[in-house]
């Protein structure tokens, strides 16, 4: 059974998928998991594979959610992305890391895509 926080996160990811599709991204994977970690969304935009981290907050009380992707999280996403590219035999593909930041206060949710949010990060 999911708690409120998990449901909120899942709703944020669903909203991000909808928004990315609307912007022309083709969704390849959701919640891609390995023993190293997880990537929320893997998509394709034109000829680029995009690894997307979704961050949702109910308000900006603790800052914009786009700033919540820490260096540690970037390293984890990078390692999982490399694993995905190798497993799918796409190591030579162009790839980037985006963040979808969602702030859903009482009004309509504010959604922002930060393209090239960070570079490939090694431990």
Give the start-to-end residue ranges of the domains of the chain.
4-118
pTM score, whole prediction: 0.91
Per-residue pLDDT at 12: 85
Per-residue pLDDT of the chain (123 residues; tens, 9 = 90+): 667 777 776 888 999 999 999 999 999 999 999 999 999 999 999 999 999 999 998 877 778 888 899 999 999 999 999 999 999 999 999 999 999 999 987 678 899 999 999 998 866
Radius of gyration, alpha carbons of the chain: 14
- pLDDT at position 2, please? 66
4-118 belongs to CATH 1.10.10.60:
no
């Amino acid at each position: 059974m999911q708690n409120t926080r998990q449901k909120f996160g899942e709703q944020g990811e669903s909203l991000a998928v909808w928004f990315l599709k609307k912007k022309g991204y083709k969704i390849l994977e959701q919640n891609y998991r390995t023993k190293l970690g997880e990537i929320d969304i893997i998509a394709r935009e034109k000829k680029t594979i995009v690894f997307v981290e979704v961050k949702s907050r109910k308000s900006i009380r603790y800052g914009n959610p786009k700033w919540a992707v820490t260096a540690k999280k970037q390293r984890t996403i990078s390692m999982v992305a490399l694993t995905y590219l190798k497993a799918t035999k796409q190591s030579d593909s162009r790839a980037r890391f985006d963040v979808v930041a969602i702030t859903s206060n009482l009004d309509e949710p504010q959604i922002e895509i930060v393209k090239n949010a960070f570079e490939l990060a090694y431990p």
